[in-house]
Structure 1
Amino acid sequence: MTASLADIAERAGVSVKTVSGALHGGSARMSDVTRARIKQIAEELGYVTNLAARGVRQGWLPLIGVVADELITSPFATEIIRGLDGAARSAEMAVFAMNLSGGRSVASVLEEVRRFRPRAIAYAAMYHKTVSLPPELSKSVGVMINCREAGDRVTSLVPDEEEAAAEMTRYLLAAGRRRIAFINLPGILAGELRERGFRTTLAAAGLSPIAVLPAVRRAIYNDRASSSVQLHVTALMEAGERPDAILCGNDRVAMEVYSALRRVGASIPDDVAVGSFDNQIEIASRLDPPLTTMALPHRAMGRLAAGILLAEEAGGPKLRKLPFQLVERSSI
C-alpha cells in the first residue's frame, strides 16, 4: 500500500489541503519550513502522486504533449525535445510526443495527444516551414516550434535563417574572402531566407555572388535526391574567376563540397574556405578540417517553448526569431 495524503497530513499535524498544496502546488498557504517538512515526510513514507486522480481533479495531467511533425526522424532536430524536456522537468512536468507522419492528419494526432489530458500542447517540425492548421485546431496548440503557423494564430518560434546567413557571410568577408559562391537548398523556406541574407550582406559590401546554385537536381531539396554538388564545384573551379569561398546550404552539402574540392586538388581553407549551417556534430566535427558552421537554436527553442506553455498568462500570438550560434572551426 502506498501512503496517502491523509497519512502525510496525520504525521505532519496539518490538513490534507495543506499537504496537497505543498506537494501539488495548490492554493493553501504555509511557511517554507512547513512545506519542506511535508515533502520530507512524503519522501519517508514513499508517497507517489496519483496522476490519474490529480488529472480528474484539475482537468489536466503534468504533461506537455508534442505533435512531432517528422521531428523524431531527425537526429539533430531532437535537440528541440531535449530543451523542452529539460525545462519541463524543472517545473515537475513530463514531455511525450506523437509522431505526425505516414499520411496521418493533424486532427487525428492532436486528438490522440488530447486523450492524455496534457497541461499544454506544442507542434514541432523537423525543419523550418509554414504549417496551415485549421482554425479550430489552432486553439489547442500553445506554441509552434521550428515552424510558423500560417494564419499567425499561434505563437511561433523559428530560427533566424536570414540573419544567420548574414553573419556567416560577414565572417567570410572578415576572413578576406571576396569571391563567394553559395550552393543552396532549393524550394524550402530555410534556403530562401538564407539566400536573402547572403545576397543582402554581399550587396552591402559592394559585392555580388560568384554563383548561387542548387545542391540537388530536384526543385525541392531532399537529402536523398540526386546531388549536383560535384558538377557545380568542378565547373566553379574550372571557371576564369574561381571562388575563394563556398557557402553551403547545410552540413551534408558541405561534406560533398569537401569531397569535390579534393577531387580537383583544392585545399581547404587555403584555396577555398567552406562555411555552412546546422552544426550536425557527427558531420561538422569529423570533417578534415573541422567545419565552421552556424548552429541551429533547437535546444533554445525547446526551452523557450516550455516557458511559454507553462506561463500563468498567455500573451497574444507572435512570431519569435531565435539566433543561430557561430561555431568556429578550421574550414575558414
Structure 2
Amino acid sequence: MASLKDVAKLANVSLMTVSRALNSPERLKPDTLAGVQAAISELNYVPDLSAKKVRGARATPNTVGVLALDTVTTPFSVEITLSIEETARAHGWNSFVVNMFSDDSPETMVDLLLSHRPSGIIYTTMGLRQVPVPPKLLSLPCVLANCESLHEPVASYIPDDEQGQYEGVKALLQAGYRRPLCLHLPAQHLATIRRRKGLSRACREAGIDPDTLLHRYMDFGDEHYRDIPAMMAAHMPQGKPTFDCVVCGNDRVAFMVYQILLAQGLRIPQDVGVLGYDNMVGIGDLFLPPLSTVQLPHYEIGRLSALHIINGDRHRETVRVESPWLQRESM
C-alpha cells in the first residue's frame, strides 16, 4: 500500500505539502495541488487516519462514534447501526462502531472509542435497558439509542412500547377477541413493564379487567423460548384453548405460538388470533398467515440519534419514538 512518502516522491514535493493537499487544499497553489492529486490517484493512496492523529491533526472532524452494547451481533437491532451510518453519510459525516460485549471492561472500550476522536457519540444497546453512562462519554456530545441513563440526564431515543402495545391490543379487541393469553417477555424487562401498561389501558377502555386475563412470563435467556409450548399447554386441555387469542411478547414467541396452534389443527385467525411485537427483520411477512404485529422503530431511533449529533441538539430529554401497529392477517 502506498505511503505518504511515496506520494511526496512521485509529486516531487515535501511531506508537508502532501499533508496540506489532504487537509487544507485551499492553502496550495492550483498547479501544486493538481500534481499531488495526480500522484494520489496514480498510486491509489488511501489517507492513514492514525498517522494524522499522531501529527496532531483532527482525523475525523465530522464523525459519529457508536458504542454498541450487544447491538450488531443480533439481527433484532442491527437496523439501529445501519440507520446511523446511512444518516451520517447522507449529511456528509462518517461513522464507526466499537462493539462492546457484556463481559468487556466499559472503561477499556470507552477509551478505544475516544481514541478515534469522534465529534459525537451514540451509545446503543440491544434491547431497551437502563445503563450507567461512563463519565468520559459525556466529555463530548452524547446521545443514547434504545436505552436510558441510570444516573446523569442524557438525551435518549427509545421505542414508545406502551403506546405500541396499546394500539395492537386495541385492534385485537376491536376485532372481537375477548379472552387473550398474554405471553410476556421476562417481567423485569423495561419493555415488558411498559407494554403491560399499554395492554392494561386498551383492556380497560374495552371494559375488560386486565388482571383477570391469563398472564405468563418467560424467564430470562433465549433457551426459555422452549418453555412456550408448556405455557400454552397449561391453557389447552385436550388441545382445546381456553383463550381466543394470544398476545405475544415478540415475534419469536409468535413463531412458537403458530407452530403449536397449527399442529393442533387450529386456524389463525378464525379459531385463535395472534398478535406479535417487533416486526422482526425479514421474518414478519413469512408467517402464514402474515403476522399482525407492532413495529419496533429501530431504524427511526438510529436516524434521530444520528441527527441529534449532526444538528448539535442539546436537550437531555427522553424521546419516545412511535411504534406503529402493522395490520396483517393473524387477527
> TM-score, normalized by length of structure 2?
0.81
Paired AA for residue 317 in structure 1: R
SS at match of 1:84: helix
Change (3 A) 1:234 1:241: closer
Match of 1:33 in 2: none
Change (3 A) 1:123 1:195: same
Q: Does 1:80 align with 2:80?
A: yes
The 5 A counterparts of 1:231-242 are: 231-238=230-237, 242=242
The 5 A counterparts of 1:134-149 are: 134-140=134-140, 142-149=142-149
- What is the aligned residue count? 304
Change (3 A) 1:205 1:18: farther
Q: Deviation of residue 49 (structure 1)?
A: 8.9
Paired AA for residue 212 in structure 1: H
Task: Note if contact 1:61-1:116 (Cα within 8 Å) is conserved in structure 2.
Answer: no
Task: Note if contact 2:106-2:134 (Cα within 8 Å) is conserved in structure 1.
Answer: no
Q: Deviation of residue 224 (structure 1)?
A: 2.2
Q: Does 1:93 align with 2:102?
A: no
Task: Note if contact 1:66-1:122 (Cα within 8 Å) is conserved in structure 2.
Answer: yes
Q: Deviations over 1:30-52 (max 9, x none)?
A: xxxxxxxx9xxx89x95989574
Match of 1:27 in 2: none
Task: Note if contact 1:138-1:153 (Cα within 8 Å) is conserved in structure 2.
Answer: no
Match of 2:227 in 1: 228
Of 280-289 and 69-78, the range deviating more from structure 2: 280-289
Q: Deviation of residue 222 (structure 1)?
A: 2.1
Counterpart-to-counterpart distance in 1, 2:102 and 2:130: 19
Of 146-155 and 65-74, the range deviating more from structure 2: 146-155
SS at match of 1:198: helix
Q: Deviation of residue 58 (structure 1)?
A: 4.7
Paired AA for residue 173 in structure 2: L
Match of 1:213 in 2: 216
Task: Note if contact 1:178-1:244 (Cα within 8 Å) is conserved in structure 2.
Answer: yes
Determine which of 11, 23, 26 is the counterpart of 1:16.
Answer: 26
Q: Deviations over 1:196-252 (max 9, x none)?
A: 1101210122103431111x3x3xx32223633212222323399822211100011
Counterpart-to-counterpart distance in 2, 1:48 and 1:142: 33
Counterpart-to-counterpart distance in 2, 1:243 and 1:140: 52
Match of 2:254 in 1: 254
Q: Deviation of residue 136 (structure 1)?
A: 4.6
Q: Does 1:327 align with 2:326?
A: yes
SS at match of 1:285: helix
Q: CA RMSD in A?
A: 3.2
Structure 2: unaligned runs, 5 residues or longer = 1-6
Counterpart-to-counterpart distance in 2, 1:161 and 1:301: 13
SS at match of 1:67: strand
Task: Note if contact 2:119-2:140 (Cα within 8 Å) is conserved in structure 1.
Answer: no
Counterpart-to-counterpart distance in 2, 1:174 and 1:6: 71
Of 132-141 and 249-258, the range deviating more from structure 2: 132-141
Q: Deviations over 1:116-175 (max 9, x none)?
A: 111111111011000012445444461100000112421011101111110001110121
Match of 2:307 in 1: 307
Q: Deviations over 1:2-46 (max 9, x none)?
A: 889989x99xxxx92599xxxxxxxxxxxxxxxxxx9xxx89x95
> TM-score, normalized by length of structure 1?
0.80
Q: Deviation of residue 102 (structure 1)?
A: 5.1
Change (3 A) 1:111 1:151: same
Q: Deviation of residue 275 (structure 1)?
A: 0.5
Q: Deviation of residue 66 (structure 1)?
A: 0.8
Match of 1:28 in 2: none
Match of 2:4 in 1: none
Counterpart-to-counterpart distance in 1, 2:257 and 2:198: 21
Q: Deviation of residue 284 (structure 1)?
A: 2.1
Identity across matched positions, percent: 28
Of 129-138 and 52-61, the range deviating more from structure 2: 52-61
Counterpart-to-counterpart distance in 1, 2:199 and 2:26: 62
The 5 A counterparts of 1:1-332 are: 1=7, 16=26, 52=49, 56-58=56-58, 60-101=60-101, 103-140=103-140, 142-186=142-186, 187-209=188-210, 210-214=213-217, 216=218, 218=219, 221-225=220-224, 227-238=226-237, 242-311=242-311, 313-332=312-331
